[in-house]
A and B are shown apart, each in its own frame.
Chain A
């Protein structure tokens, strides 16, 4: 079934640790995105990639990095986790901006 796979589903992480959230799509979409969802704030864009080999900063990029080595994968890395990064993270993709596919999310708790 075509779609986006995110891993892990949930994680409890000690503050200061490094973590990579994985996102893989099999639809050959050019553009991919990482959002974080926080109560009362909706979804906010962290980083995006218009095509393989390029990335850009979104609304809340501090403390996060991404890479786009190929079309399918778009990992999100927290170099040194802090409690304010406790959130639900969603990966998404689109081909022409008219239809978006979302992953099922990663629930991250930083303690």
Chain B
């Protein structure tokens, strides 16, 4: 079945440091890939997405590129801020997985990011 593996956390950085959170996946078809962010005490918000190979999703200074050859979708940001402290989830969905699980999201375990001033 489908699966998503994220780098183990937690990750602690100083403000303005470079961020990378690794994400790799296994899928039977051609999935869409997502990064979600969860701020303390809140629900999940879509951060960015990519639907085909070599697509780059970007938002709020975060970027991730869909790499089919390495089955990866690593999240990067050049200069993190204290306000980026949150839990980040990598996820995938397959649109036509035999018609039995249309579009369900499969999540990684989440990476806790803490940014210090």
Interface residues of A (CB under 8 A from B): 31, 33, 35, 40-45, 48, 50, 56, 58, 90, 92, 94, 96-100, 102-105
Contacts and interface: CB of A to CB of B under 8 A. Distances in A.
A97 B103 contact: yes
B103 A94 contact: yes
B67 to A, nearest CB: 19
Given A97-B32, A104-B42, A92 B109 contact: no
B42 A31 contact: no
A90 B89 contact: no
Interface of B: 32, 34, 42-46, 49, 51, 89, 93-95, 99-110
B46 A42 contact: no
A100 B102 contact: no
A100 B103 CA distance: 9
Q: Which 5 A-B pairs have CB atoms at the shortest separation, nearest pair first?
A: A97-B103, A42-B109, A42-B107, A43-B107, A104-B43
A48 B101 contact: yes
B102 A103 contact: no
B44 A102 contact: yes
A103 B43 contact: yes
A92 B106 CA distance: 13
Contact of B102 (A35, A97, A102, A104): A97
Given A96-B95, A98-B51, A99-B46, A42 B100 contact: no
A92 to B, nearest CB: 7
A51 to B, nearest CB: 9
Contacts of A56: 100-101
Contacts of A41: 109
